């Protein structure tokens, strides 16, 4: 490049910059009209960090954790769980009152009057049937089952809806209150976009306090306050969820004030680090998430229930839970999450026996080696598996822990030839009813009954319990499951969150089922 | 030259076909079950099986391969199992992000390489110390440089440069996806400068190793050129040393440096996978990384195809550039 060319290029660059500078007075940034500034609304935007991208926040099919915060901010169901409570208490949402017939088949709801969807359509009972229909269609492979047992829906008036079930289902109210449960969608939006999943992935048409605004997929998701919301939208005019692939970055941005808050899992190191920062307030919330250990009865070394039970009682679970979760975990006493079933019905009866493992090492497990697998995304999964392996190795039972990415994990646990001897999963129920937990984990066709052990009589007890509503039967479920030695619920977990110290209302904003879903109307920027 | 470029682009089709076959075979050989990613962890056994059928995962492998290739030819890579969004839509926003970062990283690589070349060949103790520092920088993995640069420029220097993302303002609705260009096109120095600030740290992390390697090759080339007979002749004719370096030695040394740059560009693509994760850069690298974690095969295959195409095109451009700077090189 000769000198003349160099000067020409430098001149062009200077000209470009000069032109840009000249027009700076009228420059337009994305999301703004010319000359406007975003300085005025900075304090009323809640910037939240997420450690991984979310799936499409479609109200009819969303079925995992993170995107539910978007769904619950923009949509409401007839019922919900109260926020800020230890137990999952069902409270009114779009239904103000309800009755259940004596035969358990008919549920009558009085709907809230004067509610409009964000698109301006009035909320009436006419919205219920199309919302149910879309959930059945779009949520068929996920939460659609929650409205699957409805025989008919009648709407005697605009403010009354009557569900008639095909069979009594004691979990039905929990299904309606669940974050994954039925959400009301504007009939006008359904008529225009009903089967267009792409539209519902980026646009909302609910009655919630916020509505979907600008989605920069994989980067950030912005929600703005719904001006026509029937209640109080809280202290923020908008919420922006930022996808940050690393919790280190989230921590740095919280410390610098760039982020207002972060809702995490039971991540002890991160919680400890955020708790130590005086500019932040760290919170813990109850959840029904729990790590569960599965023992594989189809493997010869663990085929005997006595061996499995001896192994479970020989492990120092208190020590493991304390070292892995600290204040975020409590050793479980039963097979259900502690807030799901009355403690008198939820006692597994597995007590620590310091000599049990040594006896196994010289007896049933002499010379054997045990593989313990866990999916790498489970919070504390590696630490639990490593601790468990260490305790076994200490007494002479050769054991190794193996972490797998989720797709490899799912490929191995259901394959009899590749399945490990022991595995660990983090479980969250679809609703706070014990049937959803037990049917998912323990029934013969449960989606997370990983090694497919069948416990004699269990399915019948579950069916009877959910039909009759007799919760005492879950005591029988506890006995059957605990006695099998196939499963061990390790701990009741709390999830953690951190917000800038000036933000108020965070202590009671969490919904108790998952802990990681929030009622953002509770939050205010403070002074 | 046109014939050469035409042949290279023709070979691209063959390369991409075999790349697809390879990725597909690896995806099938590996123990992987992505269905739960699609339907959710709590899905029932029936729902899992229904989804497996819906996704065609029960079909014979040749049928799955033909179906994927048929769609890819039309630009339809299917739906991401993780996000449930069309993969082509996701790639359309992520490809410009990666190309912009790679472009800046390559530019920085050249700047670092050329700037350090003269320091690299310095004699004496100072030269030895500099070579040690350069060696250390070149051998440090890109993720380490990335994390260190975040600590220094974001945490310790009070947010001097941003630690994550591509922009503080998001994309323009009518933008190209290349944020610096978008800022210039919209006559917004604020947006342009913000985008450049976001680019600096990730581009630096991706370019340090390649830049130092380039400096070594350039320094060796310049050193051997300056001791050659024609350099002595030039000096005897009264040419200044700087002119001899700029007009003759650097040009002679640029041929192997360009070849190295092409190779480094390939490595850079792999280092971007890590760098994008550290900086939450919404590009193909972070997309690939998350897709691998959950066995999102359609997304993995689509990214591999795109990166393969970029790599072949990049190498073609370097070959053309080699012929331009070195008359001894003939394109054939």
Residues on chain A touching B159 (C-beta within 8 angstroms): 256, 258
pLDDT over 70 percentage in chain B: 96
Q: For residue B158, what is the enclosing H or E element?
A: none
Distance of CA A253 to the CA centre of its chain: 24
CB spacing of A405 vs B34 below 8 angstroms:
no
Residues on chain B touching A430 (C-beta within 8 angstroms): 42
Residue A316: what pLDDT? 97
Distance CA A99, CA A107 (A): 6
Distance CA B330, CA B254 (A): 16
SS (H, E, C) B246-311: HHHHHHHHHHHHHHHHHHHHHHHHHHHHHHHHHCCCCCHHHHHHHHHHHCCHHHHHHHHHHHHHHH
Residue A112: what pLDDT? 97
Backbone angles phi, psi at A471, to 5 degrees: -70, -15
pLDDT at A135 over 90: yes
pLDDT at A33 over 50: no
pLDDT at A4 over 70: no
Residue A41: what pLDDT? 45
Residues on chain B touching A446 (C-beta within 8 angstroms): 44-45
Distance CA A462, CA A435 (A): 7
Nearest to A177 by CA among A106, A87, A82: A82
Work out the average pLDDT over B319-324: 75
Distance of CA B172 to the CA centre of its chain: 24
Report CA-CA distances (Å) from A391 to A189, A304, A314, A320, A355. Answer: 57, 21, 9, 10, 12
Work out the average pLDDT over A228-236: 94
Residue B221: what pLDDT? 85
Distance CA B270, CA B87 (A): 20
pLDDT at B28 over 90: no
Q: Which residue has the higher pLDDT, B76 or B97?
A: B97
Distance CA B309, CA B312 (A): 5
Is B93-293 CATH 1.10.3720.10? yes
- In chain B, positions 85-104, which contact chain A (CB-CB < 8 Å)? 85-86, 89-90, 93-94
pLDDT over 90 percentage in chain A: 74
Work out the average pLDDT over A262-288: 87
In this prediction, the answer to ipTM > 0.95 reads: no
Nearest to A56 among B42, B85, B189 (CB): B85
Q: For Cα atoms A233, B169, A48, give the angle at the middle one, nearest 5 degrees.
A: 45
pLDDT at A512 over 80: yes
Residue A34: what pLDDT? 44
Residues on chain A touching B250 (C-beta within 8 angstroms): none
Chain B nearest-CA residue for A441 = B42
CB spacing of A440 vs B36 below 8 angstroms:
no
pLDDT (tens digit, 9 = 90+) per residue, A414-466? Answer: 887 889 999 999 999 999 999 999 999 999 889 999 988 889 999 999 999 99
Backbone angles phi, psi at A216, to 5 degrees: -105, 90
Q: Which of A244-258, B74-88, B111-125, B195-209 has the highest mean pLDDT?
A: B195-209
Work out the average pLDDT over A368-393: 93
B251 pLDDT tier (thresholds 50, 70, 90)? confident
pLDDT (tens digit, 9 = 90+) per residue, A41-81? Answer: 447 999 999 988 888 899 999 988 789 999 999 999 999 99
Contacts for B278 with CB less than 8 Å, ≥ 6 apart: A245, A246, A249, B143, B146, B147, B150, B202, B205
Residue A10: what pLDDT? 53
pLDDT at B63 over 70: yes
Nearest to A441 by CA among B18, B41, B201, B274: B41
pLDDT at A6 over 70: no
Cβ burial of B227 (10 Å; 0-12, 13-18, 19+) is: exposed
Distance CA B214, CA B222 (A): 12
Work out the average pLDDT over B289-305: 85
Nearest to A138 by CA among A95, A54, A201, A75: A201
Residue B331: what pLDDT? 58
Distance CA B164, CA B64 (A): 38
Residue A32: what pLDDT? 58
Chain B nearest-CA residue for A23 = B187
Q: For residue A105, what is the enclosing H or E element?
A: none
A31 pLDDT tier (thresholds 50, 70, 90)? low
CB spacing of A430 vs B94 below 8 angstroms:
no
Residues on chain A touching B50 (C-beta within 8 angstroms): 140-141
Number of H helices, E strands in chain A: 16, 19
Q: Which residues make beta-bridge pairs with A46?
A: A239
Q: Which residue has the higher pLDDT, A54 or B195?
A: B195
pLDDT (tens digit, 9 = 90+) per residue, A269-279? Answer: 888 888 999 99
Residue A376: what pLDDT? 87
For chain B, give percent helix, strand, coil, nearest 5: 75, 0, 25
Work out the average pLDDT over B256-270: 78
Which of these ranges, A136-140, A232-236, B296-300, has the smallest mean pLDDT? B296-300
Which of these ranges, A74-88, A173-187, B200-214, B220-234, has the smallest mean pLDDT? B220-234
Say what the alpha-carbon torsion angle A19, A24, A29, A34 is, to the nearest 10 degrees.
Answer: -110
Across chain A, mean pLDDT equals 90
pLDDT over 70 percentage in chain A: 92
Residues on chain B touching A411 (C-beta within 8 angstroms): 31-33, 295
Work out the average pLDDT over B227-254: 83
Which of these ranges, A310-324, A343-357, B238-252, has the smallest mean pLDDT? B238-252
Distance of CA B175 to the CA centre of its chain: 22
Residue B20: what pLDDT? 82
pLDDT (tens digit, 9 = 90+) per residue, A454-497? Answer: 899 999 999 999 999 999 999 999 999 999 999 999 999 998 99
Residue A191: what pLDDT? 96
B195 pLDDT tier (thresholds 50, 70, 90)? very high
Residue A470: what pLDDT? 97
Residue A25: what pLDDT? 54
CB spacing of A27 vs B186 below 8 angstroms:
yes
pLDDT at B308 over 90: no
pLDDT at B183 over 60: yes
Across chain B, mean pLDDT equals 85
CB spacing of A418 vs B44 below 8 angstroms:
no
Residues on chain A touching B169 (C-beta within 8 angstroms): 29-31
Distance CA A92, CA A225 (A): 21
pLDDT over 90 percentage in chain B: 23
Distance CA A187, CA A194 (A): 9
Work out the average pLDDT over A129-142: 94
pLDDT (tens digit, 9 = 90+) per residue, B110-162? Answer: 898 888 887 776 667 877 887 788 778 778 888 889 999 999 999 899 889 99
- In chain B, positions 271-310, which contact chain A (CB-CB < 8 Å)? 276-280, 282, 286-287, 289-290, 292-295
Backbone angles phi, psi at B285, to 5 degrees: -65, -50
Work out the average pLDDT over A382-387: 95
B314 pLDDT tier (thresholds 50, 70, 90)? confident
Which candidate in A1, A33, A148, A219 is best for mutational testing of the B interface (most B CBs within 10 A)?
A219
pLDDT at B35 over 90: no
Nearest to A252 among B48, B155, B282 (CB): B155
């Amino acid at each position: 490049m000769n000198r003349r060319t160099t000067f020409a290029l430098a001149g062009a660059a200077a000209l470009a910059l000069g032109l840009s500078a000249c027009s700076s007075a009228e420059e337009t940034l994305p999301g703004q009209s010319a000359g406007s500034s975003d300085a005025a609304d900075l304090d009323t935007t809640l910037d939240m960090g997420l450690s991984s991208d979310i799936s499409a926040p479609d109200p009819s099919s969303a079925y995992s954790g993170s995107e539910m915060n978007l769904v619950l901010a923009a949509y409401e169901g007839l019922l919900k769980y109260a926020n800020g409570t230890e137990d999952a208490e069902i409270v009114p949402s779009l239904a103000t009152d309800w009755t259940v017939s004596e035969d358990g088949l008919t549920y009558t709801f009085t709907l809230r009057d004067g509610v409009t969807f964000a698109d301006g359509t009035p909320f009436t009972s006419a919205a219920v049937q199309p919302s149910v229909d879309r959930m059945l269609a779009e949520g068929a492979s996920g939460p659609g089952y929650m409205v699957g047992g409805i025989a008919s829906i009648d709407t005697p008036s605009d403010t009354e809806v009557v569900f008639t079930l095909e069979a009594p289902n004691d979990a039905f109210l929990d299904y309606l209150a669940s974050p994954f449960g039925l959400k009301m969608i504007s009939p006008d939006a359904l008529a225009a976009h009903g089967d267009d999943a792409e539209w519902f992935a980026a646009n909302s048409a609910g009655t919630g306090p916020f509505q979907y605004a600008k989605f920069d997929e994989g980067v950030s998701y912005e929600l703005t306050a719904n001006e026509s919301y029937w209640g109080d939208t809280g202290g923020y005019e908008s919420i922006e969820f930022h996808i940050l692939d690393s919790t280190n970055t989230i921590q740095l941005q919280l410390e610098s004030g760039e982020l207002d808050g972060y809702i995490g899992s039971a991540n002890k190191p991160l919680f400890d680090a955020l708790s130590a920062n005086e500019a932040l307030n760290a919170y813990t919330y109850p959840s029904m998430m729990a790590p569960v250990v599965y023992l594989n009865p189809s493997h010869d070394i663990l085929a005997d229930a006595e061996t499995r039970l001896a192994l479970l009682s020989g492990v120092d679970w208190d020590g493991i839970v304390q070292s892995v979760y600290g204040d975020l975990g409590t050793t479980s006493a039963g097979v259900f999450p502690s807030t799901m079933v009355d403690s008198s019905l939820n006692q597994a009866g597995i007590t620590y026996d310091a000599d049990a493992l040594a006896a196994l090492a010289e007896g049933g497990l002499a010379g054997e080696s045990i593989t313990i697998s866990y999916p790498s995304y489970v919070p504390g999964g590696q630490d639990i598996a490593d601790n468990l392996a260490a305790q076994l190795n200490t007494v002479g039972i050769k054991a190794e822990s193996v972490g797998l990415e989720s797709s490899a994990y799912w490929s191995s646990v259901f394959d009899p030839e590749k399945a490990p001897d022991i595995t660990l999963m983090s479980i969250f129920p679809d609703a706070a009813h014990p049937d959803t937990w037990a049917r998912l984990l323990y029934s013969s066709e449960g989606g997370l009954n990983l090694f497919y052990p069948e416990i004699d009589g269990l399915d019948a007890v579950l069916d009877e319990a959910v039909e009759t509503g007799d919760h005492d039967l879950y005591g029988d479920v506890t006995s059957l499951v605990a006695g099998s030695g196939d499963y061990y619920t390790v701990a009741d977990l709390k999830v953690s969150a951190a917000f800038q110290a000036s933000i108020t209302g965070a202590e009671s904003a969490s919904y108790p089922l998952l802990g990681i879903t929030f009622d953002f109307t509770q939050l205010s920027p403070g002074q | 030259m046109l014939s050469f470029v035409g042949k290279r682009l023709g070979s691209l089709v063959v390369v991409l076909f075999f790349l697809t076959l390879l990725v597909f075979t690896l995806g099938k050989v590996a123990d992987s079950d992505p269905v739960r990613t699609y339907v959710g962890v709590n899905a029932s056994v029936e729902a899992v099986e229904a989804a497996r059928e819906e996704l065609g995962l029960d079909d014979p492998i040749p049928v799955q391969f033909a179906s994927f290739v048929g769609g890819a030819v039309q630009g339809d890579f299917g739906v991401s199992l993780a996000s449930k969004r069309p993969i082509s839509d996701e790639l359309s926003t992520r490809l410009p992000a990666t190309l912009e970062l790679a472009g800046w990283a390559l530019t920085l690589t050249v700047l670092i390489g050329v700037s350090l070349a003269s320091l690299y060949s310095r004699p004496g103790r100072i030269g030895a110390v500099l070579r040690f520092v350069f060696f250390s920088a070149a051998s440090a993995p890109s993720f380490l440089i990335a994390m260190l640069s975040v600590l220094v420029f974001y945490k310790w220097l009070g947010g001097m440069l941003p630690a994550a993302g591509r922009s503080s303002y998001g994309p323009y609705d009518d933008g190209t996806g290349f944020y610096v260009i978008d800022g210039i096109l919209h006559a917004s120095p604020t947006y342009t400068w913000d985008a450049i600030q976001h680019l600096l740290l990730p581009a630096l992390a991706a370019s340090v190793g390649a830049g130092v390697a380039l400096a070594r090759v350039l320094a060796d080339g310049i050193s051997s050129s300056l001791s050659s007979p024609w350099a002595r002749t030039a000096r005897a004719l009264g040419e200044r040393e700087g002119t001899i370096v700029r007009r003759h030695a650097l040009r002679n040394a640029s041929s192997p440096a360009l070849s190295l740059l092409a190779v480094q560009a390939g490595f850079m693509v792999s280092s971007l996978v890590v760098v994008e994760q550290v900086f939450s850069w919404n590009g193909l690298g972070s997309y690939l990384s998350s897709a691998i974690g959950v066995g999102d095969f359609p997304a993995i295959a689509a990214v591999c195809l795109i990166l393969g195409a970029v790599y072949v095109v990049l190498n073609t451009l370097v070959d053309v550039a080699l012929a331009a700077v070195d008359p001894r090189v003939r394109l054939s």
